[in-house]
Structure 1
Amino acid sequence: MMDNEVVSVLKTALRSWVCKKDALSKPALLTEPDIHDLAVATKAGMVPPPCPEGVREWGNLRELTKGWIVQQEPDAIPEPLQNHDFEYLATLIAPACSDAQSCHEDEKLVFAREHLGRCL
């Protein structure tokens, strides 16, 4: 079972995300079950080590969100979730990691990858 604290952190951070999950659904705010599913899939995606290039596969998280189009902020362009989004979710739940040192390392990589991904 997922820790309520982790779900609460994600719920607070993702409260403005509007998501269209497939071609037939209407855009809507993420529900509590959506956030719980994101928490479970993110935590599972953090378990295997990244490949030698330092990139994680994200398995269940990528599968869960493969059809999603997400508008993360009111004026943002809706788009599919990318690796930097998955890493952002991981940094939100990082305190729940069993290995605090590896989580700290991941946070540094997330910052660098996010800036590289956005060409900053």
Structure 2
Amino acid sequence: MENKQKLKRPIQKIIRFNQEESTYLENKIKASPFKNFQNYARISLLTKEVVFVDYSDLYHLNSEVHRIGNNINQLAKLANSFEDISSLDVQEMTDAIKDLSQLVADKLKGEIRKAHE
């Protein structure tokens, strides 16, 4: 008990890793100027900024685009059965939705990549 009072840092925190995380962390420590986990973790936790990115709006937008695409597909099937709309118009709408869906997916992937850098 008396020994703990003499320590510079008497407060201990415990963290658990799976094997993959542990191996990844060991490699990061070896590549760093720190000699052990304690120093690496303390400096990393105290000096690195934690970035939280809320992707809920992008996920919501992505699901809405998919719903719109499904609705257009249903309309296209209906239009084809009645032949009221030209197949060219249907194809243009379908292509536009695919392009929009791809833009949303690319934006989401880009934001995720930026957050992990």
The alignment's TM-score, normalised by the length of structure 2, stands at: 0.26
Q: Going by fraction, where is helix more abundant, 1 or 2?
A: 2
Asked which structure has the greater CA Rg, the reply is 2
Pick the structure with more strand per residue.
Answer: 1
